[in-house]
């Protein structure tokens, strides 16, 4: 039986690329060839083995983004381990839960967290804790440097785990999504074809790599195609603009694009050699899409995916990239919409995860009898098969017995020139069950709340019109730019206690 470890595919690509540049830091201080990646991954895999990591063991990683972090990711895969990245913003108590649930063989942390992480490891009877910092220095990299640069890639089946990524847990405790080598291989190979990624591409990589977008979508496609990565440890808009004329491809979240548009020095000339701009992880405003095309001549390609599924849909490379839609189902991926009330997107295909870690009942609950994963996203599919996301089922507002989809109201609000962004939520209401509330940011002085509500009354059915419009400096977001509506509901939970 052949080895289905995804690293085998990477290895073939790396060997063919040889001394061509694999990763170059945006500041020009670091460059690794594909040959370097191959030997570096082997050294890290040997270091992991020396620390007791065997195929199937989890490796918990909470470190800052660095090129050494990439070598660690590759080393875990090569060794047959299960890579478990954690957001660097997670607190000690949150990390305590993840470690207790995943039961890793090894923890890799920032040197500044070594002491607190050691305490957590002792509590959960985990022997090995090593560190790695943003410069790629630490006890793990020092150990890897002493290792042999040859390593036999661990034999894995297509259904064996490559990753354990925890969901955000906004509706209960976080769940570990079990991602297999087969999931990653199918999704990456499809995206390379659809987005026409080749070894001639230079990809601007400013995303975090504790998340599907920066880790699996960006890295795996670049590695399969032997493209070059222009590496940013964090988003730096002036440096990104400076690097862009020598690049061809960028993957970003909507915030990247709004920040680029806010920079006067970002022009069509800046993007003259760019082939493709891709956006995901959070909804891209239609206005941002139009403004970006007007500024650069490039229509951003928006796509849709989840931790549990990788990418599900994509706007086309050739053909219309319609603002406000996420395009068509990927080849070999089946998407349907079902529901009595909220019409929820369901998906089946080789990209869909194996299930939730140690939660068989929850896994069964989230799949239909015929094998479709229930995404929880509300959507529509037009006659051509083009998909639009309306919102999350859990964000559906039921007011006075009527269903209200927040995105419909947000689209109307976002069209006001004075409004920057909006988030519509349902707040407990003594008469209506839930009252519709809009939380907005201002890009110019806003009319009085009463006038805004009157304007909306001319555009929306009465039951959809917000009872309150609250202005804030900024909307709360997670690391990938998604608005945290659960946090907004929490902040304003008592809004209607005394009056409506």
- pLDDT score for 346: 97
- pLDDT score for 461: 82
SS (H, E, C) 198-232: CCCCEEEECCCCCCHHHHHHHHHHHHHHCCEEEEC
Burial-class residue 189 by CB neighbours within 10 Å (0-12, 13-18, 19+): middle
Task: State how beta strands 301-306 and 249-252 pair.
Answer: unpaired
Q: How does pLDDT run across 298-352, given as a tens digit for each residue?
A: 999 999 999 999 999 999 999 999 998 999 999 999 999 997 667 999 999 999 9
Once rounded to an integer, what is the mean pLDDT over residues 351-375?
A: 96
Gap between the Cα atoms of 131 and 141, Å rounded? 8
Task: State how beta strands 355-356 and 373-381 pair.
Answer: unpaired
- pLDDT score for 325: 94
CA angle (80 as vertex; 372, 480 as ends), nearest 5: 55
Q: Where do the domains of the chain lie? A: 1-393, 396-491
Going by pLDDT thresholds of 50, 70 and 90, the confidence category of residue 500 is very low
Q: How does pLDDT run across 455-498, given as a tens digit for each residue?
A: 999 888 888 999 999 999 999 998 778 899 989 999 999 999 75
Answer yes or no: is pLDDT of 4 > 50.
Answer: yes
Gap between the Cα atoms of 116 and 287, Å rounded? 45
Structure tokens at 116: 């607190």
pTM: 0.87
Q: How does pLDDT run across 73-109, given as a tens digit for each residue?
A: 999 999 999 999 998 888 888 899 999 999 999 999 9
Q: Domain 396-491 is classified in which CATH homologous superfamily? A: ANL, C-terminal domain (3.30.300.30)
- pLDDT score for 390: 85
Answer yes or no: is pLDDT of 175 > 50.
Answer: yes
- Poorest-confidence range of 58-62, 272-276, 377-381? 377-381
Residue 262, Ramachandran bin (φ over 0: left; ψ between -120 and 50: alpha; else beta): alpha
CATH class of 1-393: alpha beta
Place of tokens 């089922």: 393
Gap between the Cα atoms of 163 and 143, Å rounded? 23
490 close to 500: Cβ distance less than 8 angstroms: no
Q: With pLDDT > 70 as the criterion, what percentage of the chain qualifies?
A: 98
- Helix ranges (DSSP H) in 350-441: 360-365, 406-414
100's enclosing H/E stretch is helix 92-102
- pLDDT score for 201: 98
- pLDDT score for 499: 45
6 close to 184: Cβ distance less than 8 angstroms: yes
Gap between the Cα atoms of 499 and 23, Å rounded? 58
How high does pLDDT run on average in the chain? 94
- pLDDT score for 170: 43
- pLDDT score for 247: 98
Gap between the Cα atoms of 117 and 61, Å rounded? 11
Gap between the Cα atoms of 404 and 262, Å rounded? 33
Residues 6+ apart with CB under 8 A from 53: 59, 76, 79, 81, 105, 106
Once rounded to an integer, what is the mean pLDDT over residues 361-370?
A: 96
| Nearest CA-CA partner of 82 in 13, 181, 14, 153 | 181
Q: How does pLDDT run across 222-240, given as a tens digit for each residue?
A: 999 999 999 999 999 999 9
419 close to 443: Cβ distance less than 8 angstroms: yes
Phi/psi at 383 (nearest 5 deg)?
Answer: -60, -25
Going by pLDDT thresholds of 50, 70 and 90, the confidence category of residue 414 is very high
Structure tokens at 24: 């170059």
- pLDDT score for 168: 62
Structure tokens at 102: 């995943």
Answer yes or no: is pLDDT of 204 > 60.
Answer: yes
Q: With pLDDT > 90 as the criterion, what percentage of the chain qualifies?
A: 83
- pLDDT score for 150: 97
């Amino acid at each position: 039986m052949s080895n289905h470890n995804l690293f085998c595919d990477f290895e073939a690509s790396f060997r063919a690329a040889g001394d061509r540049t694999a990763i170059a830091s945006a500041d020009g201080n670091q460059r690794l060839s594909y040959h370097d990646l191959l030997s570096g991954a082997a050294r890290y895999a040997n270091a992991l083995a020396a620390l007791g990591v065997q195929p199937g063991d989890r490796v918990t990683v909470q470190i800052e983004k660095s090129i050494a972090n990439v070598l660690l990711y590759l080393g875990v895969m090569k060794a047959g381990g299960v890579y478990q990245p954690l957001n660097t913003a997670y607190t000690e108590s949150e990390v305590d839960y993840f470690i207790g649930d995943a039961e890793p063989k090894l923890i890799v942390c920032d040197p500044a967290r070594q002491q607190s992480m050691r305490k957590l490891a002792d509590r959960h009877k985990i022997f090995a804790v090593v560190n790695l910092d943003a410069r790629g220095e630490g006890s793990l990299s020092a150990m890897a440097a002493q290792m042999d640069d040859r390593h036999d890639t661990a034999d894995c089946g297509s259904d064996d785990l490559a990753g354990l990524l925890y969901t955000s847990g906004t509706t209960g405790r976080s769940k570990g999504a079990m991602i297999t080598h087969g999931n990653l291989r199918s999704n990456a190979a499809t995206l390379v074809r659809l987005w026409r990624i080749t070894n001639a591409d230079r990809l601007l990589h400013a995303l975090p790599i504790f998340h599907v977008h920066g880790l699996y979508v960006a890295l795996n496609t670049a590695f399969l195609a032997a493209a070059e990565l222009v590496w940013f440890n964090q988003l730096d808009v002036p440096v990104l603009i400076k690097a862009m004329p020598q690049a061809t491809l960028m993957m970003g979240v909507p915030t990247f694009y709004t920040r680029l548009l806010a920079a006067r020095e970002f022009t069509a000339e800046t993007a003259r050699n760019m082939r493709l701009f891709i956006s995901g992880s959070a909804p891209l405003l239609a206005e941002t899409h139009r403004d970006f095309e007007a500024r650069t001549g490039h229509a951003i390609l928006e796509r849709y995916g989840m931790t549990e599924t990788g990418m599900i849909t994509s706007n086309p490379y050739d053909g219309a990239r319609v603002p406000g839609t996420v395009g068509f189902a990927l080849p070999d991926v089946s998407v349907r919409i079902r529901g009595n009330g909220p019409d929820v997107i369901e998906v089946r295909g080789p990209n869909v995860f194996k299930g939730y870690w140690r939660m068989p009942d929850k896994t069964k609950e989230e799949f239909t009898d015929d094998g479709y994963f229930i995404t929880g996203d509300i959507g529509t599919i037009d006659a051509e098969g083009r998909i639009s996301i309306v919102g999350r089922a859990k964000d559906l507002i039921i007011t006075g017995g009527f269903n209200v989809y927040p995105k419909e109201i947000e689209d109307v609000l976002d069209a006001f020139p004075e409004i920057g962004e909006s988030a519509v939520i349902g707040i407990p209401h003594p008469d209506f069950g839930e009252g519709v509330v809009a939380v907005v940011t201002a890009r110019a002085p806003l009319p009085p709340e009463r006038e805004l509500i009157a304007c909306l009354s001319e555009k929306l059915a009465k039951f959809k019109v917000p009872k309150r419009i609250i202005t804030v400096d900024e909307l709360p977001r997670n690391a990938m730019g998604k608005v945290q509506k659960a946090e907004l509901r929490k902040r304003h939970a008592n809004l209607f206690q005394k009056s409506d």
